[in-house]
Structure 1
Amino acid sequence: MKKIETYELNDGSSLPKIGFGTVNIQGAIGVNSILTAIEAGYRVIDTSTNYMNEGVVGEAIRRSSVPREELIISSKLPGMAHDYDKAIKMIQESLYRLGIDYFDKYLIHWPLPKQGKYDQAWQALVDAQKFGLIKTIGVSNFLEEHLNTIIDKTGVTPATNQIERHPYFNNNELVETNKKLGILTEVWSPFGREINDVIEHKTIAEIAKKYNKSATQVILRWNLKNGVMPIVKSSSYKHQKANLDVFDFELSQEDIDTIDGLDKGEPGRVEGQHPNEYEEFG
């Protein structure tokens, strides 16, 4: 099994360049999917309280032959717990659900700026890190103004910002903002989720044929070329392995530009979830 290349973070830690996502992975089938992913070589396991599967992830951790210290377990704070005290308790509750002593990485799931409490939530993560509950702290779906607010108020810059990014919504401006601030961009929905024709697009298929790779492998390489970390999900061991087989080729700049050209702007979002508008309260 090849070791996955890593990114260095602004807090001195590192992350493999590809992680395994668990949205909609539940029950016994979900445990098996996570176990095969770990066997395939994934070490970052990305979950969230709102995925309703922290127990499943915890069970997979216990059943896995890979030592706990080699796994990077990441979860996310739900919108209902942005108040400082609620956030501290929610982090502890999630640890109990998973049956682990600490998170390797923990994010605020959405900023919910209409509620105006994401700075409280961020302070809770900053303190939870000091308490030893979390190793690396970050955010998800934060725009530049949200990032600037929490950095200005706490003096602490997130290590990562997990955002939507795929060929129909490349989000390049936010990727560049993250880079400017020294934040690693993580990517959710790299294949477009419900927009099934992303991986069937003729242009991507032609590029894939040129490199003797699949459309999904080309999309992952496109992300890696931009210095971001895709979080991928697959229940098939074959596809799990294939999604890691992307470190032996490079896309030309012309092909990168061609894929960037598929961007549809705001209409390209998979579920129309703009971070300034979306209200998430799980």
Structure 2
Amino acid sequence: MPRLGFGVWRLPDQDAPEVVGAAIKAGYRHIDTAQGYDNEEGVGRAVREAEVSREELFITSKERTRDQGYDSTFRSLEGSLQRLGLDYLDLFLIHWPVPEHDRYAETWRALVELRAQGRVRSIGVSNFLPTHFDRLIGETGVVPAVNQVELHPRYQQRDLRDWHAAHGIVTESYSPLGGEGAAVLRDPVVTDIAARLGRTPAQVVIRWHLQQDLVVLPKTANPARVAENLAVWDFTLSPEDMTRLQSLDRPDGKTLPQPEEMNTLF
């Protein structure tokens, strides 16, 4: 899985072919969508029209919460593949645990079977906590490859990341630039480091993720920033820079609901 991907949350389906196409042209090889984003058709068109082979691309989608359940998950994946126009997904995730509805464990069993069938190459989850993992692993013996969670300098989730590392789970950062409004990019610590290095605040924050071995999914609909956000491989943040950025962590830094609070079927 490429460590720097392109996120498409809130990207309108009609805009996806152009924006995702530009991302692939700029060099992105990892595209992250979801059934709940309602843009799989546009993403699929960009993938099919790309001037690179399907095998060069890593495509992720996530199951809608209302589709959770053993039998319904098989139908749900087929819907994604049909909308995307693909024969398989590189990664398929359970989007939220929605514990109130208690379907995530049987959904996980279905994902394990779909991986065995070759319909998906890898399986994981999003917004899960250790208590949810304990149940999945306890009932199936299969550890999710990935947990995709909100993670940025103001919400660093260090305890959860340590738990992932102890269990061989990849931590993938969504909303990596600070969520709605990207307030992190205006933080004086970030802007100071960016000015000194001659980089954009977004490049500094993306580099912060990469230097911690996180998989990072910045999202932008601005064509100029598509390539800009990818240009982060030719500089390094110093230990002092990393320490300053670590200091931005806040108990109230999360911008989206906590996993236990999200019980909406969408």
2:159 counterpart of 1:173: yes
Matched residue, 1:270: 255
Of 244-253 and 135-144, deviating more is 244-253
Residue 26 (structure 1) shift: 2.0
1:202 Cα deviation (Å)?
A: 0.8
Pair 1:240-2:226 in alignment: yes
Q: Which of 222, 229, 236 is the aligned partner of 1:250?
A: 236
Partner residue of 1:280?
A: 264
Query: Alignment partner of 1:199: what SS?
Result: helix
User: Aligned equivalents of 1:98 and 1:31: distance in 2?
Assistant: 11
Measure, in 1, the Cα distance between the counterparts of 2:65 and 2:15: 28
Aligned partner of residue 233 in structure 2, secondary structure: coil
Query: 2:75 is matched with which residue: 89, 95, 118?
Result: 89
1:103-122 alignment to 2 at 5 Å? 103-122=89-108
Residue identity over aligned pairs, in percent, reads 38
Contact 2:15 2:42 in 1 (8 A): no
- 1:74 and 1:35 mapped to 2: Cα distance? 16
Matched, 1:42 2:28: yes
Letter in 2 for 1:34: V
CA distance, structure 1, for counterparts of residue 117 and residue 223 of structure 2 = 37
Is the contact between residue 169 and residue 263 of structure 1 (CA under 8 Å) also seen in structure 2?
yes
TM-score, normalized by length of structure 2? 0.96
Q: Deviations over 1:191-245 (max 9, x none)?
A: 1121432101111111112222111111011111111011111123321111111
The secondary structure found in structure 2 opposite 1:139 is: strand
Aligned 8 A contact 2:177 2:184 in 1: yes
Contact kept, 8 Å, 1:110 with 1:280, in 2: the verdict is: no
Q: Which has the higher strand share?
A: 1
Q: Deviations over 1:2-58 (max 9, x none)?
A: xxxxxxxxxxxxx11100111111233221000000001111111100000111111
Cα deviation for residue 162 of structure 1 reads 0.4
Aligned positions, number: 266
TM-score of the two chains, using structure 1 as the length reference: 0.91
Moved over 3 A (4+): none
Distance 1:65 1:280 in 2: 39
1:159-187, Cα deviation, whole Å (9 max, x unpaired): 11100001111111111111111111111
Which whole-Å CA distance do the structure 2 matches of 1:51 and 1:219 have between them? Answer: 24
Q: 1:33 & 1:107 partners in 2: Cα distance? A: 23
The answer to whether the 8 Å contact 1:78/1:280 transfers is no
